[in-house]
Chains A and B, each alone.
Chain A
Amino acid sequence: MSDQAVISESDALRILAYLTASADTQLFEPDIYGPFRLVEAASQLAGAVLDGEPTENREFWEGVRSSLEDNKFRVIWDRPGFREFVRETPREVAGELTRRDNDRTSA
């Protein structure tokens, strides 16, 4: 597990703005936009981490970022596919958490 600080404060503010605005728009927008906005925010977060040039785990962040970017607009044209993608993504992220825990305990 890397403890390198990679997100700039200005990127954090941009993501905070996006998340709080999305919480507001979700008061009136279709429910399915909720997962879509969270996927977008997750992608922005991954993008911000990559901008900070992480010395470790870059491959993971690149993978997750391109997967989020490639799949987010399926909300418009392939809703079942989008739902499937949203359900599957946490499994991959949890796999990364597990991998890092295992690395730590075996170190």
Chain B
Amino acid sequence: MSSDRPVYESIRSRRAVRDFTDEPVSRGALERILRAARWAPSAGNRRLHKFVALEDAQAIARIKAISPGMFGEPPVLIVICTDAEQLARENVKDHDTSTMVDVGTTAMCMMLAAHELGLGTCPTTSFSAGGVRGALNLPDHLTPDFMLQVGHAKPLPPGGGGGTKLTIDEITHWGAYPSD
């Protein structure tokens, strides 16, 4: 198979980054990452998200204080919020799990866009949503569902990052499961 697969190579080489240098992220790069979010597939094209982009070190430190899963000190943090007003307008039901899938597709588009720009990212959900609300003064209709740490990665320690990946045989069942 041809090795000319830049998208596949990007997927393969992206790793969660938890240690960032002090180098800032340009506004242009940040906007490009946010633009990538706009192109993410979204169930029913409902566009449920609002984004909060933080570049201020003090504001990011405040979020870190209430985010046990945030280990780095990234120069940029993007919070993906689901907008309850938009959920209501779109008549989305409470147990519609596609809302969280939308968060995931959006996050992945942003991670790959950042990766293409040579930036590291860390997807983050280990945070106190109430704490994030308080730290960002979020209006009640916005629920913070996901945070993306963005910055220039410090080199990983040898062998570090990503752990082992499962083989396709471990994760794939070819065809339907047999009936008993």
Contacts and interface: CB of A to CB of B under 8 A. Distances in A.
Interface of A: 14, 17-18, 20-22, 24-25, 29, 33, 37, 40, 77
Interface of B: 65-69, 126-131, 163
The prevalent SS among residues of B at the interface is loop
Given A18-B65, A21-B65, A25-B127, 19 more contacts: A17-B66, A17-B131, A18-B66, A18-B68, A20-B128, A21-B66, A21-B67, A21-B127, A21-B128, A22-B68, A24-B128, A24-B129, A24-B130, A24-B131, A25-B69, A25-B126, A33-B68, A33-B126, A40-B68
A37 B66 CA distance: 12
A105 to B, nearest CB: 40
A28 to B, nearest CB: 9
A75 to B, nearest CB: 12
B46 to A, nearest CB: 24
26 contacts: A14-B65, A17-B65, A17-B131, A18-B65, A18-B66, A20-B66, A20-B128, A21-B65, A21-B66, A21-B68, A21-B127, A21-B128, A21-B131, A22-B68, A24-B128, A24-B129, A24-B130, A24-B131, A25-B68, A25-B69, A25-B128, A33-B68, A33-B126, A37-B68, A40-B68, A77-B163
Of the listed residues B69, B128, B163, the one surrounded by the most CB atoms of chain A closer than 10 A to its CB is B128
Contacts of A37: 68
Contacts of B66: 17-18, 20-21
Contacts of A24: 128-131
Contacts of A29: 126
Contacts of B69: 25
